[in-house]
């Protein structure tokens, strides 16, 4: 198997799992599922409207990552996923939550990095030296 083919397989596996994770958690946040409301408002101390913001941005980010073209928009989506998941990890750690609470955003953070790193050339921004 060539390195290019291997990288493409890694990219699509990571990206599909990332998309599923972000869409599912985004929907849970948009629908304000009771357990999610409890965690975000009581355990982490964030306002309820934060769920709506996160849910909308996660779903829009997945669309940006999956659609063809728009490489710069993809970079922003990956950055948003990275900041949201690293923020979630830090929030859970800062409030003394268990590793079980840290594991889901940690997994999504790893998938974000893998998807970004292994993305094909046509999904990257091109840098031009002047």
Rounded Cα gap, residues 110 and 85, in angstroms: 9
What is the reported pLDDT for 114? 97
For 115-125, write each residue's pLDDT tens digit. Answer: 999 998 888 88
The pLDDT of residue 91 is above 70? yes
**Per the confidence metrics, is the pTM higher than 0.75?**
yes
109: its two tokens: 């953070």
Neighbours of 5 (CB within 10 A): 9
């Amino acid at each position: 198997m060539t390195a290019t083919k291997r990288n493409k397989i890694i990219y699509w596996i990571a990206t599909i799992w990332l998309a599923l994770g972000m869409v599912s958690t985004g929907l849970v946040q948009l629908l304000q599922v009771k357990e999610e409301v409890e965690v975000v408002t009581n355990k982490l101390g964030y306002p309820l409207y934060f769920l709506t913001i996160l849910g909308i941005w996660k779903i829009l980010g997945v669309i940006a990552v999956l659609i063809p073209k728009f490489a710069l928009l993809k970079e922003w989506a990956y950055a948003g996923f990275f900041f949201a998941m690293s923020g979630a990890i830090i929030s859970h750690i800062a409030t003394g939550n268990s590793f079980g609470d840290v594991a889901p955003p940690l997994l999504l953070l790893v998938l974000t990095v893998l998807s970004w790193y292994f993305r094909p050339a046509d999904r990257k921004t091109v840098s031009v030296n002047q």
